[in-house]
C-alpha cells in the first residue's frame, strides 16, 4: 500500500512531505520514544506517534521511514513544519488515537 492510498483510506491530513506520498508502506511501528523507534523501525515502515517536535523527522529520515503519522489531533510545531519542507518523508495527521490508528492501519495492510 502506498502512503497516498493510506491518506485516502483514513482521510489523513498531509502536513508536509508530499513528494514522498508514492512510497510503499512495508509495515508499521507505534511508539513515542525516539530511541525505541530507532531500534525497531525498518526502511519503508510507517511510524505512528503523538510526538510533534522536529526530531521525529530526523529519526524518520535516518531510518528511511515511509511516513510519520501524528495521532490524537495533534499538529506539528512550526519548526517541524519548516524542517519537513526540506524532507521527502510525509508528515501526516489524524484525529484517531494511536490504538485506533494502529488497528485500522494493520487491517488495511493485511488486505493489501
Per the prediction, the chain carries an average pLDDT of 96
Over 90: is that where the pLDDT of 18 sits? yes
Q: What integer pLDDT is reported at residue 41 of this predicted model?
A: 97
Q: Are 49 and 32 in contact (CB under 8 A)?
A: yes
pLDDT for residue 84 is more than 90: no
Total residue length of the chain: 112
The CA-atom distances, in angstroms, between 16 and each of 43, 67, 72, 82 are 19, 10, 18, 9
Name the CATH superfamily housing domain 3-111: HprK N-terminal domain-like (3.40.1390.20)
Q: Residues 3-31: what's their mean pLDDT?
A: 97
Q: Is the pLDDT of residue 97 over 90?
A: yes
**Is residue 32's pLDDT more than 90?**
yes
In tens, the pLDDT along 36-70 reads 999 999 999 999 999 999 999 999 999 999 999 99
Cβ contact 48:30 at 8 Å: yes
Distances (CA, A) of 112 to 14, 30, 108: 21, 20, 6
pLDDT number for residue 101: 98
Kindly write down the DSSP assignment for every residue of 68-92, as one continuous string. Answer: EEE-TT----HHHHHHHTT-SS-EE
Domain residue ranges in the chain:
3-111
Rounded CA-CA distance 100/97 in Å is 5
Report the interhelical angle of 98-111 vs 3-10 (nearest 10°): 120
49 φ, ψ to 5°? -155, 165
Q: What pLDDT does residue 8 have?
A: 98
Predicted TM-score (pTM) of the model is: 0.97
Task: Give the pLDDT of residue 90.
Answer: 97
Amino acid at each position: 500500500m502506498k502512503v497516498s492510498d493510506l491518506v485516502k483510506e483514513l482521510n489523513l491530513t498531509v502536513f508536509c512531505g508530499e513528494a514522498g506520498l508514492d512510497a510503499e508502506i512495508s509495515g508499521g511501528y507505534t511508539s513515542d520514544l525516539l530511541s525505541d523507534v530507532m531500534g525497531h523501525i525498518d526502511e519503508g515502515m510507517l511510524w505512528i506517534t503523538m510526538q510533534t517536535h522536529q526530531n521525529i523527522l530526523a529519526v524518520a529520515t535516518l531510518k528511511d521511514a515511509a511516513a510519520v503519522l501524528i495521532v490524537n489531533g495533534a499538529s506539528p510545531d512550526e519548526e517541524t513544519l519548516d524542517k519537513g519542507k526540506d524532507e521527502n518523508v510525509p508528515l501526516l495527521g489524524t484525529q484517531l488515537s494511536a490504538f485506533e490508528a494502529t488497528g485500522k492501519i494493520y487491517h488495511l495492510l493485511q488486505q493489501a
